[in-house]
Amino acid sequence: MSLKKTLQRRVSKAIHEFKMIREGDHIAIGVSGGKDSLTLLDVLLELQRKSPVKFTVHAFTVEQGKFLRPIEPLGDYMKARNIPWTCYRDKPSFKLLEDQPEHGCDLCSRFRRRAVYEIASSLGANVVALGHTADDFCEALLRNTLYTGRLSALPPVTPSRTKDFRLIRPLVYVSEEVTSAYAEEQGMPLTPCVCSHRTGTVRRRMREFLDEVKQDHPHVLENMLAAMSRIDTPRLLDRRFLDLEEDSDGDLESRSEALPEADNTPAQPQFATLPILAQSSF
């Protein structure tokens, strides 16, 4: 199977399973200049041409002063393909770079997130598509488990905090091995960011660990993604999902009284305010 068909099938699977795209959506695609976001843009444009679900696409790039190459070739690439594209020079990010040149990834991400929402709003978009891959989902699962004490990764689809946008990650089933090969095959003008070359970060350590595991277990990403979709709650320690009232000896309840109370506030549905307009037919 060709790379293009592989990509289209995996992205279509994600869009259908998580109901990412709906009739009349205006999608703003964040294009960082890397292989993942450019691959996502190419696949969504192809799906836009073929899908019975009508939606529009507008690409955008946030310039934070960290590109290692000129951005102009990316603009030429968009123009040659008649792709609507906005390049936004984020002044607060440049000020941050001037005032705190050694700032970390988390601070940079917060500045970029604010800029993304501002751009999406100016474009009249109701959906923001992000280029996180299967590798990113698995790295997030490891990072949150090991460093924050939470069993969580990235959501494939979720509303923004203000409920103004639906954030989607259609590359959830696509590995970076595939996006790298596809970007090379298509001759995409990659514009790397200085952050991608940083060493010693937690993200870098997680990636190196997964790369090492994949040498002996090439399907580790697929297995981790499958695990995220098949949570066996009785075999974890979250007491909200355990029946601790009594056991065969009748004394479990008394033994559990010494334990602190768990937060039993029920989780709210993520899409209570986002009704589906039409079933996706990807």
Structure confidence by residue, pLDDT tens digits, 25-47 = 999 999 988 999 999 999 999 99
Provide the pLDDT for residue 67: 75
pLDDT digits 0-9 by tens, 82-136: 999 999 888 877 787 777 776 666 777 788 889 899 999 999 999 999 999 999 9
Domain that holds residue 127: 3-137+153-191
- Whole-model pTM: value is 0.82
- Whether 38 maps to a domain, the answer reads yes
**Number of domains comprising the chain:** 1
What's the sign of the alpha-carbon dihedral 161, 164, 166, 167? negative
* Nearest to 20, CA basis, from 39, 2, 47: 47
- Whether 26 maps to a domain, the answer reads yes
- Whether 221 maps to a domain, the answer reads no
Q: Residues in the chain with pLDDT < 70?
A: 102-105, 194-200, 246-282
Provide the pLDDT for residue 270: 37
- Whether 270 maps to a domain, the answer reads no
Please tell me the distance from the alpha carbon of residue 2 to that of residue 245, in angstroms, as a whole number. 55
Find the CATH number of the domain harbouring 104.
Answer: 3.40.50.620
Report the 10 Å Cβ neighbour count for 241.
13
Provide the pLDDT for residue 93: 78
- Whether 263 maps to a domain, the answer reads no
What percent of the chain shows pLDDT beyond 70?
Answer: 83
Provide the pLDDT for residue 256: 43
pLDDT digits 0-9 by tens, 89-99: 888 777 877 77
The pair phi, psi for residue 193, each rounded to 5°, is: -105, 150
> CA 232, 14, 144 angle in degrees (round to 5)?
50
Provide the pLDDT for residue 104: 63
Provide the pLDDT for residue 264: 44
- Whether 269 maps to a domain, the answer reads no
- Whether 215 maps to a domain, the answer reads no
- Whether 242 maps to a domain, the answer reads no
